[in-house]
Structure 1
């Protein structure tokens, strides 16, 4: 079942279960359009797709954004030593098509993911390893940098060569 949230500007957010090969294929397609690279849906992730509603010019909704996230593993009582420990809620990927960036669609997806994570446990922070081009975006969402920049020498994409650990603690 997909849960649907409707934004007032004609933007629909759908939580999509991975029940077939189509969901990972759609995820990879948009990730490639935005970043130039193929990225797979991380294991045990939940996926939010963002669509613009049908209009007279479009015969079906247009996917313009996506977010992969993972709520904290509530079976873990202590965090691991890694920043991306399953003890914490994680935003793993956020992609918004270039022509639609700055329209609030990424913000809507992040807010929805945070709401879903906080429903599981509001005491644990949500974390993201942000690309250098996304740091300001996540700061506007209330995330704070923790630690130094990470240089990823094995990243095939320039987009992810410099990552920043960021965290948002809920009140």
Structure 2
């Protein structure tokens, strides 16, 4: 099975999405638990030393697992755009909607990885690679912005597959070769 005949990007994206989602969610839950009296969240208080450590590990894994997801996404997007007749509508001038969706998907995910990476870097400089320090205002702001954008960008990726059929053509060509 060659790299060009199988889309690896869909298999790899789940890791950074899951890791970053949980990391940023823990930061938000920590803020809500320490700043508001919400009864069902108060049960998390004794768990936060372990949760904050886990959050740092998940943040690290999320950033580093995003690298192969980005590389394979670029490769798959380039292959889709390079196919003759695939980029433009029948008029030859209008770019197909799926390529706008793909550009938005890529840009939003890049934004999330860059912002999460800079947050990771500032925490790393202050507390080490897995320091379990409580998230500050900056980390909370990052979590509040990145989490919804990350989930929206992931839904755009799902739209690319299920609404626009991206990735299925590579699987079809691999089946023809067999």
Q: TM-score range by the shorter chain?
A: under 0.3
Normalising by structure 2, we get a TM-score of: 0.22
Larger radius of gyration between Structure 1 and Structure 2: 2
Answer 1 or 2: higher relative contact order, Cα 8 Å, separation at least 6: 2
Provide the TM-score with structure 1 as the length reference: 0.23
Q: Between Structure 1 and Structure 2, which shows a larger proportion of helix residues?
A: 2
Larger strand share, 1 or 2: 1
